[in-house]
Amino acid sequence: MKKYLTLEELLKKIDLITKLYHVVRIVDPVHKEAFFYENRQFTQQDLPCYSFWEKNKICENCISIQALEEEEVYAKVELKKEEAYLILSVPLQLKDRKVILELMQNVTKERVLFDSIDHFKEELYLLLKNRNKNIIKNDVTKLFNKRYIYERLPFDILCSNLREESFCLIMVRIDNLKEINKNYGQSCGDKILSNLANVLVKQKLMEDQWVARYSADTFIFVLNNFTQEQSKHWMENLKKDIKKFNFQWDKNCIDMMFSMGVYSTFQVNISMEELLHRVEMSLQRIE
């Protein structure tokens, strides 16, 4: 059942909500806009929504994106320096778009959560950090997973348009992974994925560029602010490294088959789904 709250319903309950939560705000998690409720009205802040956490980067485990996509209420505990916040992300239906109502409660001093285990507080903070990080990482490859792709990629596409920058998506696929799993077992396939991930993560990436596991046999690179010429040169270096990739299992030398595709855009309004489809259609076997 869809759990969208309307603005009218929100305003009827706003007095009660503000008594229960320290921070109440409306967030557009795709455009990274935030409207804080203060003095009985919602006011847009000049900074992006993630600036609240004072980490100078977008949230890697954004439950508001999840809540928006799944049309469900999501919750998590997030850290702001030495403070812990319980966050509820509630889908909110406005007249012209769907956004998220974020309700935050500072639970740092909650006896049930922290004071009774005060000597374990540092370990608990570390546990929360690792948990939020693990949610967006693939267990086998330790790269970002599909959840992270669906959280981050729409934002990168939007930024490339707003900043009038070029944008490049590169896809790498292991063409015979299913056959390898069938002949040698899942453990062999997982080891190949892990070894290949080590090769991919060593590629020269700038701060706002990243690599992730997109599906069982497929990886993607997102290269923000990369021209077509830069992408071409970067791909050639990647292709050389992939050609060198070899793998042995139980003294058997396994033949590997790879495909690679690329799609570049500049000031093109394109959805994430269409972008992924186009780069997949561009895949060609690496000879």
Burial of 53 (0-12, 13-18, 19+ CB in 10 A): middle
Q: How far is it, in rounded angstroms, from Cα 185 to Cα 210?
A: 30
Q: Strand pairing of 83-93 and 5-6?
A: parallel
Pick the CATH number of 5-135 from 2.30.140, 3.90.105, 3.40.50, 3.30.450: 3.30.450
List, for residues 49-104, the tens digit of each pLDDT value.
999 999 888 888 899 998 998 888 888 888 888 788 889 999 988 877 889 999 99
Segment 134-162 mean pLDDT: 87
**DSSP string for residues in 104-148:** EEE-TT-TTTTGGGGGGHHHHHHHHHHHHHHHTB-TTT-SB-HHH
Q: Do you know the residue count of the chain? A: 287
Q: Which residue has tokens 């997030």?
A: 78
User: What are the residue boundaries of the structural domains of the chain, listed by start?
Assistant: 5-135, 146-285
Chosen CATH of 146-285 out of 3.40.50.2300, 3.40.50.300, 3.30.70.270, 3.20.20.30: 3.30.70.270
Q: How confident is the model at residue 159 (pLDDT cuts 50, 70, 90)?
A: confident
- Do 40 and 125 form a contact (C-beta atoms < 8 A)? no
The answer to whether 49 and 27 have CB atoms below 8 angstroms apart is yes
For the segment 227-265, what is each residue's pLDDT rounded down to a tens digit?
778 888 899 999 999 999 999 998 889 999 999 999 988
